[in-house]
Each structure stands twice: as structure tokens, then as C-alpha cells.
Amino acid sequence: MSTNENEPFAALEEIPLQIHMWWNDLGKGSRGTVIKVLGGLVGLLNIKPRLDIIEALIPFWDPTRNVFRFSDFELTPILEEISGYAGLNGNLRSRYPVLPRPVSPHKFLDMLSISRDIQDKNLSEGSCTFQFLYQRYGNPQGFEEPNTGLTHAGNKYKWEARRGLVFIVAFLGVIVCPRKDRNIELGLVGMVDVAIKKANGTLVPLILSEIYRALTICREGGKFFQGCNLLLQLWI
């Protein structure tokens, strides 16, 4: 039997307490930025992950038609449903789908107002840890912590202005587009920046495509669900 067959099914099992703390500590302006982009997705913070539900669904997924095929009926999550659960309602045809875009380590650091002199091996591999973000923007004293490389260190106004963007990146990387190694894709910051600036941007197509992709990978033998298992759990 292969190592992969012995590997247990996994997905987001627990939302880090620090994300809750970060959200609760955000100022009014930063919260407004988060709600503009994430809408009702913030409510996922209150959902308890149920891996047994997701694992039980996998065998019924038909990747050729993107449907759950049961004995006498079929079901599939659609854009409008995911949009409703996410609290991001509206005419999706008139919305601009925002997607991850290539972001170099230097560009990533620039967008987060962090010095390029910061050394982190994950950055060169296209990701960062949740703690990398939390230490600088989640921690209520992050703006004055030493050795963080923040280019606006000590300036709480400029620091607060970036907190919403960085929270969204962390939220998406942990809850919506999780990785098996728990790292966060640098490309998410480019997507979030566009979503903040565009009045009609929407994350819904990305969320649904990631759920479809995760279902297909797991149906083909993958053991880690890389999509938003919390939304799929609500949908079913």
C-alpha cells in the first residue's frame, strides 16, 4: 500500500485563535475594507469545521461534470449559491472576477510596507507563514515591535491603513485557499489589492473554482482539501 493511501484525509480543522483576535482588534476603517472584499465570509470564523462531512462527500463527486452524483439525483454548488452564503449577493455578470496574480517577493514586501532586507526562505518559494503576517499586522503592538522590517515602524496611522489588506490575505490563505503546508500564497496580496480598489470586484468565481479543484484532486486520491471546506459544509 502506498504512503498516500495510508495518509489520513485532511482539511482546515481549526481556525487559529489569532485570526479571531486580529479581527476583533481591527479599527473601523480596516473593518470596512475587510467587509467590502469578504462580505459575509467573515462569518466563517464562527463555523466549526466538520471534516467527516467533507470526506463523506468526496466519493460522490463526478469531476467530468462537476456534480455530486447520488443514486437518483445530482447536486452541484453554483456561483449564485456560493455568493449567497458568502453574503456577496448581486448581479455576478456585472462583477469583475479577481484572481491571484504573480507577485514577486520584493513586490509582496513593498505592498505590505516591509523592508526588502527582511530575510525569509519562504518568500523566495512564493509563500509566507501566517505568523509572518500576524507578527507585523495582527499583533496589536505590531507597529512598534522591533525587527519586523516595517517601513512605517512607530507610525500607527500608516500601520492601521495596511491592516485590513493584510488581514484579508491571511483570511484567504488560511480559510478560503488553504495549503497543506499551511503557508500563504504571495499572489493573494495582488488579488486583494485589486479587490479593494475595484468597486465591482468579486471573489466568488475564485472560491467556487477552488472548491471544484479541491474536490477533483481528492476524488483522484489526494488527501488534502485545498478549497473552502467551511463553505462546502454550509452548502450541503
pLDDT at 6: 77
| Amino acid at residue number 224 | F
> DSSP string covering 21-34, please?
HHHHH--HHHHHHH
pLDDT at 90: 62
- Look at residue 156 and give its three-state secondary structure: helix
- Look at residue 177 and give its three-state secondary structure: coil
pLDDT at 89: 64
Place of cell 455578470: 93
| Distance in angstroms (rounded) separating the CA atoms of residues 20 and 140 | 13
| Angstrom distances, CA of residue 148 to CA of 28, 134, 164, 224 | 24, 11, 18, 32
Per-residue pLDDT of the chain (236 residues; tens, 9 = 90+): 344 667 899 999 999 999 999 999 999 999 999 999 998 899 999 999 999 999 999 999 999 999 999 988 898 888 888 888 777 666 667 778 888 888 999 999 999 999 999 989 999 999 999 999 999 999 999 888 888 999 987 888 899 999 999 999 999 999 999 999 999 999 999 999 999 998 888 888 899 999 999 999 999 999 999 999 999 998 88
pLDDT at 215: 96
pLDDT at 233: 93
Total domains, the chain:
1
Full domain range(s) for residue 20 = 3-235
Asked if residues 54 and 11 have their Cβ atoms less than 8 Å apart, the reply is yes
Place of cell 485557499: 177
Q: CB within 8 A of 142, min separation 6: which ones?
A: 135, 136, 148, 150, 159
pLDDT at 5: 66
Helix locations, 69-151, DSSP H: 79-85, 105-111, 121-124, 130-133
pLDDT at 13: 94
| Distance in angstroms (rounded) separating the CA atoms of residues 215 and 6 | 19
